[in-house]
Structure 1
Amino acid sequence: MTDQSERAVGSAESGRPGAEPELRGIDLARRALEEARAAAKASGKSVGQGRASPRRLRTGARRRTGWSGARPDDRDPQLLFSLAGAIAKNRGWSGKVAEGMVFGRWAVVVGEDIASHATPVALANGVLSIAAESTAWATQLRMLQKQILAKINAAVGHGVVTSLKITGPAAPSWRKGERHIKGRGPRDTYG
């Protein structure tokens, strides 16, 4: 046995009138709580003084505990869109979310007619690469480049897309195998 346990057992067995019985379980917890309260009172703090102040509403009034009531409150259910936007803003993801909106909402941003004939391919350093389905559509999109860029900036924000790179379809390659003859190749147009 250790010295402390021997003293506790010895004092309890001695039957002295001033000796305290050994505390266990709930009595020990109550005793510890009383001592903590006494120590806090001695240091000048009252119980509950160290807690954070209640949150304030947008109007500056203190929030009551319990039910939120009839007025709007920050505890009320929120729209998923607004919560996701707040999370993206707090974590610095706004730029990536805006880039994703260009690809995810392409038909809404530029219109169904243009979206059915052109698709966004890549977005790097503010340059959006667009692949048109034909050379005629590539030419048409190049002429409408300023209007398309204005629509994109209005939908996702300024600075996300600064310029467009519009390409037509790639012509098939006639080069087959390792050996070939230099020259202009066939004169047919594609696209």
Structure 2
Amino acid sequence: LKLLNPSYFLVSAFLISAITSMATGTAWGSASTAGIALIAIAHQLHIDAGMAAGAIIAGAVFGDKLSPLSDTTNLAAMVTNVNIFAHIKAMLWTTIPASIIGMIVWFFAGLNHKSSADKSQINALLRQLENVYHINFSVWIPAIVIIACLLFRFSTVPAMLVSCVAAIFVGALNHGFNFTDGFKAAFDGFKPDMIVHQVNLNDK
């Protein structure tokens, strides 16, 4: 929130969603996690929800198509008996130009936006996030690990496993939940009560 300029929010939303989707291999998963957070921020900044949703979904689909972790990308490569990285390289010819055009449109659309956001609401949201999460460099480690694995062309399953283990260690050391909860989160999803230092936001 501190870094997102309302004038560049739409481009930022596209890039954040694309990176999230590329690192996770899921468009819908990215849209329903990072996308929900970005929509909430757009609401706070009084940015049109339709424009924000368009940028978020476009980024999610962009990242999903170019991610070696994506099920549809893997399936297409397997069915056609093509190396997955060759398949991704071939898709760049259509996805990159379309994305550049989209970012240009969002850039100029954002320049016309004058935020009338209530800074007190934004500061309150920041305080709530800081109360629940320890936001620092360590939270980027799982993403960095999986991107490194992809750059070195690791297979999908080992890359995801290494990133998951890194995420569990970061969660345990940085946020205070135990390793058992970390493994449960890998199968059943994360629950806020796994964080031992969480405060009751309703009491704020």
TM-score normalised by length of structure 2:
0.22
Report the TM-score when normalising by structure 1: 0.23
**Higher gyration radius (CA):** 1
Q: Which has the higher contact order (CA 8 A, sep 6+)?
A: 2
Comparing both structures, which one devotes a greater share of its residues to helix? Answer: 2
Structure holding more strand per residue = 1
